[in-house]
Structure 1
Amino acid sequence: MADQHPLVEDFFEYVKSSIDYRIAVIGQVDAGKSALINALTGENSHISTATDATRDVVSYPYKDRGQLLDFPGVGTTEFSPKQYKQLLKKYKVKHVLYVFSSKIRDADEKVIKFLSKQKIKVTFIYSKLDTLVDVTGKYDQSLLKQEKNTELHVTFKKVITDSLKYHFISVKDDQGIEELRASIDNYLDKKDETFQKRINSSKYFNRFLSKRSNALAAKLLTPGFKDLILSREFKTIEQKTRNHFHIDEEDAERLGQQMPHVIDFVNKAKESNKAEGNYKKMIGPLTTLISTVLKVRKLNVITFILSTFGEAGIRAVYPRLRGVFEYVRAVSDLASDVLEARLKEV
């Protein structure tokens, strides 16, 4: 990724941002959520002897793509089930590791039923497997695990259609961690498949370029940019536009094209409009040009144009405005060609 063209890197980041690689780690108070995150990521998440010390949602990187979100415990005095639902709505997670260390409680039921209603994927974890023992000695651990799975199935079979079984783990004894990690990796592999499809999708390709053009509007439709046009600072305009799209002469040469220059478009605009006497009639086409290139509302463009014309006069400024934005369109088209060519090399 680090060796890719900057435009390709930006495109990959754009596509990645459209895919939710986050997994929330929630569950019972003092169930060992933070310890589990430590075991999965190697990160030093906060663990305390106090009852569920996690008060805020904290993100930890998982390998080179995912994120594990450490949520507060369910059923604390700070978070009633109702408040917890609001917290989940705020973060809009799509996959949850729900961690238990004891029997299912009322608060757990309410939150899990909410997750099911919101179509959020739930992976059930029974932590602290090393403490799952029968003090009477009548049952071995396999039977106790079976009982836990039965309790889970009976409680949620009416609301959850997916398999209702625990991932039994023990961070202390490192039991079940690799199996859980493999499950998470499988989930993220499917996300990666979506990523690959989207970087090869014309829809996301065009959306990305439209977003880049729209972001350029914030730089161009400003008093400072207007001053550059009025003072004919075309080199500065070129530098700003090239930097925005991350392209240069080398990129144009690789495609067998010439790098566009503002002055060429301005001169062309002057020649094509010499016969036009009423420049006011040009406001409409110019507005359409700018709003199309920058992907912005025409009203914002009209305000910019009239402000510029009001200072310098329509006849003097029109060729410069048209030339500059014809140039921006040409650079945007070149950026599209560069990105398409570079993606074929990936």
Structure 2
Amino acid sequence: MMTQQHPLVEEFYDYIRGTIDYRIAVAGQVDAGKSALIHALTGGDPHISTETDATRDVAGYRYGRYGELLDFPGVGTTEFSPAQYKKLLKKHKVKHVLYVFSSKIREADEKVIRFLAKNKTKITFVYSKLDALIDVSGAYDRELLKQEKNSELHVTFKKIIKDPLKYHFVSVKDGTGIDTLKEEIDAYFDSKDEEFQKRLRNSRYFDKFLNKKSSTLGARLLTPGFKDLILSREFKAIEQKTAGHFHLDEEDAGFIGMSMPRVKEFVNQAKDTGKVAGNYRKMIGPLTTLISTVLKVRKLNVITFVLSTFGEAGIRTVYPVLRGVFEYVRAMNDMAGEVLAKHLKEAGGRS
């Protein structure tokens, strides 16, 4: 365990990455070479997701380790008017768009780009098919034509976009400009990795992850099957289910200098508490609060579970077992937090 990444750490890393948008949409003009550009940028990595309902085939392609490029359809067709295209962008909630051109700026492009700018979406302008950029009159060379295109871009959008307005000129056919564009994309994903490191050290994300783990466990425990384990005193099975959820074992307990919690010990403590208190009915409220707090679930769900369990075996019989089981779950939850915190500290991921 000590030489490999602990499963709890891996889950925490995955959780943090899930809070960061590693996607870039590749959108723009019809037949601008968007799909070919994606293949050139990703090195031919296979696509990792596809939506084929109302989104009309928006496919995701892996970029690097965690990035994803979304291949959008072309804008301005009978199928995708600017209004429909805006809905598509809204549905995917994209925050960065590579907007790809292969000809002059059209009205449909203007409408979509104004929409993106209004929503503060980062836009990287790409002029594809540079190899086909020619002046039929022969009066301009390619550099002058590129300047002309950049001027058109600047004049069209200078009032709504503050970032420098110029194209990345690329050609998939001969590879021109691909490496430069990749550098910008890499820098964007590097900023996402920096955000990942910040969130890794943020106690708010640490607590939210543990709360989510507890809530997920609650969905597994407040069930008729788990109630049967409680009523039949199947403490070993309860321990296996809980420890498995948190990926904890004896070695983890030793790692933080403690012994592995045991359900029976907590049940015995609850029996002693019950003898002193005497009135079990008055203890239903605190018990419900304990369970809902530990599992981060609604009290109504807990009350239903508790009353159902009491109804089958009686309050005096079941109360110590219920309390002991969920005190044990709380101890395992706390242990998971300590194990995760120590692993992160040793890895330099948490102060």
Q: How does the TM-score come out when normalised to structure 1?
A: 0.96
Aligned to 2:50: none
Structure 1: gaps spanning 5 or more residues: 47-53
Note if contact 1:14-1:208 (Cα within 8 Å) is conserved in structure 2: yes
Aligned to 1:9: 10
Identity of aligned residues (%): 72
Could you tell me how far apart the structure 2 residues matched to 1:215 and 1:55 are?
Answer: 33
Per the TM alignment, residue 45 of structure 1 is displaced from its structure 2 partner at its CA by 6.9
CA deviation profile, 1:209-242 (whole Å, cap 9, x unmatched): 0000000010011111111000000100000000
Aligned to 2:146: 145
Aligned to 1:196: 197
Note if contact 2:45-2:61 (Cα within 8 Å) is conserved in structure 1: no
Could you tell me how far apart the structure 1 residues matched to 2:43 and 2:83 are?
Answer: 32
Q: How does the TM-score come out when normalised to structure 2?
A: 0.94
Note if contact 1:229-1:320 (Cα within 8 Å) is conserved in structure 2: yes
* 1:112 and 2:113 are equivalent in the alignment: yes
Could you tell me how far apart the structure 1 residues matched to 2:311 and 2:16 are?
Answer: 42
Could you tell me how far apart the structure 2 residues matched to 1:205 and 1:109 are?
Answer: 43
Per the TM alignment, residue 277 of structure 1 is displaced from its structure 2 partner at its CA by 2.8
Structure 2: gaps spanning 5 or more residues: 48-54
Aligned pair count reads 338
Aligned to 1:122: 123
Letter in 2 for 1:244: H
Aligned to 1:286: 287
Aligned to 2:252: 251
Aligned to 2:318: 317
Aligned to 1:37: 38
Could you tell me how far apart the structure 2 residues matched to 1:194 and 1:26 are?
Answer: 25
Per the TM alignment, residue 130 of structure 1 is displaced from its structure 2 partner at its CA by 0.5
Could you tell me how far apart the structure 1 residues matched to 2:69 and 2:319 are?
Answer: 54
Could you tell me how far apart the structure 2 residues matched to 1:177 and 1:13 are?
Answer: 30
Letter in 2 for 1:72: P
Per the TM alignment, residue 303 of structure 1 is displaced from its structure 2 partner at its CA by 1.1
Letter in 1 for 2:235: F
Note if contact 2:45-2:62 (Cα within 8 Å) is conserved in structure 1: no
Give structure 1 regions of 4+ aligned residues with deviation exceeding 4 angstroms: none
- Residues 287-302 of structure 1: matches in 2 within 5 Å? 287-302=288-303
Per the TM alignment, residue 278 of structure 1 is displaced from its structure 2 partner at its CA by 1.9
Aligned to 2:51: none
SS in 2 for 1:30: coil
Per the TM alignment, residue 44 of structure 1 is displaced from its structure 2 partner at its CA by 6.2
Could you tell me how far apart the structure 1 residues matched to 2:144 and 2:157 are?
Answer: 20
SS in 2 for 1:274: helix
Aligned to 1:50: none
Could you tell me how far apart the structure 1 residues matched to 2:169 and 2:265 are?
Answer: 69
- Residues 65-80 of structure 1: matches in 2 within 5 Å? 65-80=66-81
Per the TM alignment, residue 43 of structure 1 is displaced from its structure 2 partner at its CA by 2.1
Once the two structures are overlaid, the 10-residue window that deviates more, 75-84 or 11-20, is: 75-84
Aligned to 1:164: 165
CA deviation profile, 1:242-262 (whole Å, cap 9, x unmatched): 010011100001111000000
CA deviation profile, 1:158-213 (whole Å, cap 9, x unmatched): 11111110000001010000000000000111111000011111111001000000
Could you tell me how far apart the structure 2 residues matched to 1:45 and 1:225 are?
Answer: 42
RMSD: 1.3
